[in-house]
Structure 1
């Protein structure tokens, strides 16, 4: 049967210029057809640049956006299995904050350079990627940001963790765009108390934000391939994200 532009996407591996001029592997997807559209930088979770994150990237293309997910572990583990790459980077303390900002800036620039771009770019991340999304939104000129249960925006890693992540809540005054936060009430990183601490910092600085917390959901409730997946929270969460981007990237 014939396809129309409304239901056809392109997707595949590409290369972008990241922090310090480094050439990075990335996964990109977009809607086929005419017209301008917004772009989404997808920041992968701590488990890495994996099939589930690439599927999310394609989902944004189906929504009608161009999307790019940079492989944040490419320097340390080019070509490695996602689990092995994640273990390598975790042992080194995680992705350095300054480098993350440079890599997201490169992905945003790549999106804005597409002929289809309307020059509006959002960032979204889950788990460590949620923290990174907040960091990017307080560092770069973006139009929207989504923090999905980002750990250590408030608070520090538990004792014994190799991660070097430090709290970012003090950067609330630097938030440059509307922020959507999606959280589980049974999560510990971030806990409901940490979510409220972040919300208060944003209120105190008069920053546009909307937070949604889901009962009977903990960490990684969007991850369909992990035990923490919660269908009710993920389904509602995707609807909220789609509405948020419709309002901020049009």
Structure 2
């Protein structure tokens, strides 16, 4: 008798369970022809004028395109984030990924033990540095001959949190960002010794429409955190949309990690592209 479960579910001990088999599912946006994309490394002027490495991917065809500023998560300036930039480029966007760990002696998490180093770097980084480095990426897009006047912001994990701070900061030129897609921003209500204002408090000053995508099984942000953030945005009269996916936890979009959930990732990718198109390709 045919099973009603999708092919993305694993078979164990003769029966199908609820564990996704990542290797059998093509990640969203992964298929593209290299000839359709131009990608290269650059250096942007970040906080205090410091040089910050960054990766750029844009359509190979001529003309101008909407820009995207991508904010990486705790794993840093990893190949997965560069590939995400290429996936957006294949769909007509000029994307840039600044390396936000560039002052901390590393660029990306290589070994699992490096996560502690990354957490320390995140907790000790002032918001002003984050805003300055992301502004450097935004300025690069603004000055590019390949980018038109519309620019969006996309953040993943801690990058969603940092993106929220950036898009809500007057110093960021938030009015210049036309849309923000926030993938499961964590630490929303957790101030640090360096940043005593929690990211959720910045949300009242959000300067552009925001789509936020979450997993029902996530614990950071938890469903309660998501509800509290919704309240902040509603009180402030912001334009936003929240979507939460069942059977998905944190980092469900990352097809390089065990947290990947193909069904949620495909749906979130489609919703993300619809929002970007709505505000960047009217």
From 206, 218, 222, give the equivalent of 2:253: 222
- How big is each residue's C-alpha offset from its partner over 1:86-128, in whole Å with a ceiling of 9 and x where there is no partner? 5434224253211111111110110111112112211111110
Distance of 1:109 and 1:168 partners within structure 2: 23
1:195-250 Cα deviation digits (max 9, x unpaired): 11111111111100011100000001001111110001100111111111101112
Aligned partners of 2:101 and 2:108 also within 8 Å? no
8 Å contact from structure 2 (residues 190, 199) kept in 1: no
Residues 22-76 of structure 1 deviation map (CA, whole Å, 9 limit, x = unaligned): 1111111001223322111111110111111111111110110100000001111
Aligned to 1:114: 144
Q: Which runs of 5+ in 1 are unaligned?
A: none
Q: Does 1:168 align with 2:202?
A: no
1:132 pairs, out of 144, 157, 162, with 162
Q: State the alpha-carbon separation in 1 of the partners of residues 246 and 109 from structure 2.
A: 34
Cα distance in 1 for partners of 2:45, 2:115 equals 21
Say which SS state the counterpart of residue 211 (structure 1) adopts: strand
What is the aligned length?
242
TM-score normalised by structure 2 residue count: 0.80
In structure 1, C-alpha distance between the alignment counterparts of 2:185 and 2:114, rounded to whole Å: 20
Structure 1 distance, partners of 2:51, 2:132, is 12
Instruction: Give the greater-gyration-radius structure (CA).
Output: 2
Q: CA RMSD in A?
A: 2.3
Residue 76 of structure 1 contacts residue 85 of structure 1 at CA under 8 Å; is this kept in 2?
Answer: no
Secondary structure in structure 2 of the residue aligned to 1:102: helix
1:213 counterpart (244, 262, 266): 244
Per the TM alignment, residue 145 of structure 1 is displaced from its structure 2 partner at its CA by: 0.8
Between the aligned partners of 1:20 and 1:78, the Cα distance in structure 2 is 19
1: CA distance, partners of 2:114 / 2:43: 18
1:34 corresponds to which of 53, 57, 62:
62
Which of 110, 119, 141 aligns to 1:90? It is 119
* Cα 1:182–1:80 shift into 2, 3 Å: closer
TM-score by length of 1: 0.89
Name structure 2 gaps, 5 residues minimum. Answer: 1-32
